[in-house]
Chain A
Amino acid sequence: SYLFIYLFYYITTKATQFFNSGHTNNWAVLVCTSRFWFNYRHVANVLSVYRSVKRLGIPDSHIVLMLADDMACNHRNPKPATVFSHKNMELNVYGDDVEVDYRGYEVTVENFLRVLTGRLPPSTPRSKRLLSDDRSNILIYLTGHGGNGFLKFQDSEEISNVELADAFEQMWQKRRYNELLFIIDTCQGASMYERFYSPNIMALASSQVGEDSLSHQPDLAIGVHLMDRYTFYLLEFLEDIHPASQANMNDLFKVCPKSQCVSTPGHRTDLFLRDPRSVLITDFFGSVRKVEITREAVNLTSAAEQPVEATKEPKSEPLSYVDQLPVAEIIHQKPKQKDWHPPDGFILGLWTLILLVFFKTYGIKHLKHIF
């Protein structure tokens, strides 16, 4: 019986620990900001994170995936409809069930900020919205080309770290997140999280200011680099995580040390209220499975008696399709006007008259020259 008490105690502590994070749902916003064929690796980065996040339980309805260019169907792709992340084409991250929410030219700074702050036009479909509340944990992953304090979108515009920090502050004030994990894999990525000032944000970057994030390996058949180093090792790390795993953030900070990444990954935890040691990876990458422990038994065997509705429905007329677009009523058309011509005989007579007058005036002898 001591064993039973011990197990019981163990389960309840685990359970309470399970609810320590305070969030009830998970969202993910995954953005690839670069277009062009030679930026294949950025799309592969995002799709790898997408894959991990889906595998660990976040459904498509809770993922906002933004891809700036279409690599799978690019004319230059020798293996169409695939995006590989490992060389020798071991892992196709494009798969069969990728759901891209913002594609191509829709991936702009404005759309990204609108998604984060929720200021979208009313016609935006649900799949394009971040419908988070104050108990959501959000994972935000950005990748592309960046610099000191900015991230380049689509080769034409940039988002600065100040704008991003302000967007997160707006989210905090609108109670749109419980906790936020921000991961960025670009050159000088650490500059993007320098300016954050809202609480409950944890940030990771693939390189420090002044360093370049390097790509991992080229594939000689496709002819491009397939992934960036940081995300490659992140993917390897995440492949070992399963929905019930207890790995915490400190393990995530250790992903891709300088020996593997060449750049120095950085992280920022000062705005985060909890200790990173107690934050599970699945708090952000996975989805919450809410388990309620009950001590009473619920009786499921007796069937409940349902009163049968015996009301008779009134007889309705036979239905027909409504004329949805009564064209004749809408467009009042006048009959087409035919051009009026004078009658043919009249023209003939007129010309005869002219000829006769002519010959009268100038003499009838010219008439024989004509006939």
Chain B
Amino acid sequence: MGLLSDPNRRKALTSLLTRLNTPICVVCYLAGIAWFMGLAFEPFTLRTYMSENAMGSTMVEERFPAGERALATAREFAAHKRKVGGMPVEWLVKTMQARGLEVFTQSFTRTLPFPDENKERYMVRGTNIYGILRAPRAPRTEALVLSAPCSPDNSNNQAVGLLLGLAQYFRSKMFYVEFDCTSLSGFFSHHSGMDYTPLQGRAGSIQAALSLELSSDVITSLDLVLEGLNGQLPNLDLANLFHAFCQKIGVLCTIQGKLQRGDWDTAEGYTHAVQTMMLMVLKQASGRPWGDHGLFLRYHIEAASVRGINSFRQYKTDATTIGRLLEGMFRKLNNLLERLHQSYFFYLMPSLTHFVSIGYYMPAFGLLATILLLRALDLWVQLGTPAQVTEDGAVLFIFSYYKSFLSPSVLVPSFKPSMVISHLTGVALYTLPVLSQETAVEHFPVSETEAVVLTAIAIYTAGLALPHNTHRFISGEGTEQGWRVLKLVALLYLAVLLGCTALINFSLGFILAITLVPAAACVTPHMPKALTALAMVLLSPGCTLLYCVFIFQELQEAPVTLPEGWMLFLSVISQGILDHSLYGSLVYPLLALLIYPCWLLLWNILFWK
């Protein structure tokens, strides 16, 4: 007989599984964490290299001369911005036209569901100005985009100046693809609810985009920002291109604001790499676009943001050099034959020259998911063996096995109400905070943003009280089978959820897995209630978010105290809701509608009577 159909062998296997379950789970968890930490260790990473043949072997001498003129334009732009008190649309249109671009404008407005306290606005409104530089001899089938975000305050003027300078310079050169200069503040207005005037100019399908943020006349280093909406990253070739040019021109380049260290074998070097990687993981997990480029990625346009940083270093780089770097990058992108697709789309970067691809980091998550599957298997086995076996004989054994497991009297009532109630709470968590902000503001002396956030936290905490109130509805109560079935379903559900999340946004999936997997694996009704309850709350998604906020601040070298951290946490929740309504970020719906109900199921199991 086969391995699994022979009852004796199966009994041996299942007893092995039951005996070794906990040790294997512990080992898997520790191995998963260790694997993840080991990703930043330099011998385990690969050096970055140019995968795209069309970009690798071509080289041009960059000759951009007009750095000073770009800065003068920037000062003019700042003056006009102050005069108009917003974005000087007419001046920008006139200047772009003077440089030979075809200029179009697009205005948009969008009312936020509740006012944004961080940016002090209740509606998002603005004008996008984009100018198209036509290639003289080419068909209008491909385009590259250089964009600079404009804000009403006195930042990013130099980027606009440099953008205009580059446009003028590129006009005199032979370019293959068309070149779009845009000053964006919310270019992508396809969202429902956003009012926008339709786009008029057509340039060709966009191959790559760069967003430039420069707020000072001279810089000491350039920072590359890759993380986009929902944790999507551009093709690694774009980062490789940037790094190649930094080396060629001799500009200091950083990622996550951290400079690369050469000593990987020392403890400090390793911690530095781990910090850089953790910053990238946290930024990716948040699901928000960390630069203007983040919104291009949804449309399969490879985009990155380049940010100029002026710190207290001796060696300063002027605008001409930055212009040369951008010129070189665009000349190389000009030679692209197809969209960037040769290099990786899923990766983590512990430094600008090293990367970890999906094949290397996924096993860390896989180990954590194995714990869930092992536990589920264990429960399946426990559910499968009936309380006593009176009749002998293989047929009756198999019959009673199937009968006890598939009888609807055991299965359905025990977990269906719990599932429904948990998901209803999740839906409440998703919809109620925004909907009920007016009533909250009427009755309590809080602002709308605070009302939304505090309602969310209130619903979250109210979910903790559910088991006491809903055990009436659960008819399978009191049976050992009941909570086992529920836990089996919860484990599989969690495994599927986390697996799907990790495939799309590995960082989010992994961070949720780190806290939720031990909670899911260990929870039973037989453990000491108070202690386990505390542990469950500490491992809940809300507290995970709190820890992430604190860790993020630590890594940014701006550690916060507890009250400040709490305020930051509240603002993070409000930003999450706003990102979801403005850009379509999926983190908040995922947490509210799927992860939180799953955690509630586990909480239900804990308080099973």
Interface residues of A (CB under 8 A from B): 36-38, 75-78, 80, 215, 218, 220-221, 223-225
B174 within 8 A of A: yes
Whether the pair B137, A223 counts as a contact (CB closer than 8 A) is: no
A218 contact set on B, CB distance < 8 A? 59
In the complex, the answer to whether B60 meets A38 with C-beta atoms within 8 Å is: no
- Interface bits B164-182 vs A (CB < 8 Å: 1, else 0): 0000000001101000000
A223 neighbours in B (Cβ, 8 Å): 58-60, 331, 335
Query: Interface of B with A (CB < 8 Å)?
Result: 53-54, 57-61, 135, 137-138, 173-174, 176, 331, 334-335, 337
Known contacts A36-B337, A75-B135, A78-B174; A220 and B60 CB within 8 A of each other = yes
Q: Are B174 and A38 in contact (CB under 8 A)?
A: no
Query: Can you name 22 A-B residue pairings with CB atoms under 8 Å?
Result: A36-B53, A38-B54, A38-B57, A38-B335, A75-B135, A75-B137, A75-B138, A76-B335, A77-B174, A78-B174, A80-B137, A215-B57, A218-B59, A220-B60, A220-B61, A221-B60, A223-B59, A223-B60, A223-B331, A223-B335, A224-B57, A224-B58
The contact of B335 among A37, A215, A221, A225, by CB within 8 Å, is: A37
The answer on a CB contact under 8 Å between A38 and B59 is: no
Give the residues in chain B near A78, CB-CB below 8 Å.
173-174
Residue with the highest number of chain A CB atoms closer than 10 Å, among B57, B138, B334, B335: B57
Cα–Cα, bound, A38→B335 (Å) = 8
**Cα-based distance from A216 to B47 in the complex (angstroms):** 27
**In the complex, what residues of B have CB within 8 A of residue A36's CB?**
53-54, 337
| Residue of B whose beta carbon sits closest to that of A225 | B57
Set of chain A residues within 8 Å of B173, measured between Cβ atoms: 78
Q: Which residue of chain A is the closest to B52 with respect to CB atoms?
A: A38
Neighbouring B residues of A220 by C-beta, 8 Å: 59-61
Contact between chains at A75 and B176 (CB < 8 Å): yes
A362 vs B67: C-alpha distance when bound (angstroms): 93
Name the B residues within 8 Å of A75 (CB-CB): 135, 137-138, 176
Which chain A positions have C-beta within 8 A of B57? 38, 215, 224-225
State whether A76 and B176 are in contact (beta carbons under 8 Å apart), knowing that A38-B335, A223-B331 are contacts in the complex.
yes
Q: Which residues of B contact A38 (CB under 8 A)?
A: 53-54, 57-58, 335
Contacts beyond the supplied A38-B53, A38-B335, A80-B137: 8 A-B pairs with Cβ under 8 Å:
A37-B335, A38-B58, A75-B138, A220-B59, A220-B61, A221-B60, A223-B60, A225-B57
CA distance A220 to B331 in the complex (A): 11
CB distance from B169 to the nearest CB of A (A): 14
CB pair A37 B58 closer than 8 Å:
yes
Complex CA gap A172/B54 in Å reads 40
Of all A-B residue pairs in the complex, the 7 with the closest CB atoms, nearest first, are: A220-B61, A223-B60, A75-B138, A78-B174, A76-B176, A75-B176, A223-B58
- What residues of A have a CB within 8 angstroms of the CB of B335 in the complex? 37-38, 76, 223
Q: A224–B331 Cα gap in the complex (Å)?
A: 12
Q: How far is the CA of A194 from the CA of B59 in the complex (A)?
A: 36
In the bound complex, CA of A36 to CA of B335 (Å): 9
Which residues on B sit within 8 Å (CB–CB) of A221? 60-61
A370 vs B605: C-alpha distance when bound (angstroms): 81
CB distance from B133 to the nearest CB of A (A): 14
Alpha-carbon separation in the docked complex, A37 to B59 (Å)? 12
The residues of A that contact B135 with a CB separation of less than 8 Å are 75
- Shortest beta-carbon distance from A110 to chain B in Å: 24
Collect the chain B residues with CB atoms within 8 Å of residue A225's CB.
57
A224 and B174 alpha carbons, distance in the complex (Å): 14
Most chain B Cβ neighbours within 10 Å, of A36, A215, A223 = A223
Q: A257 to B58: give the CA distance in the assembly, Å.
A: 26
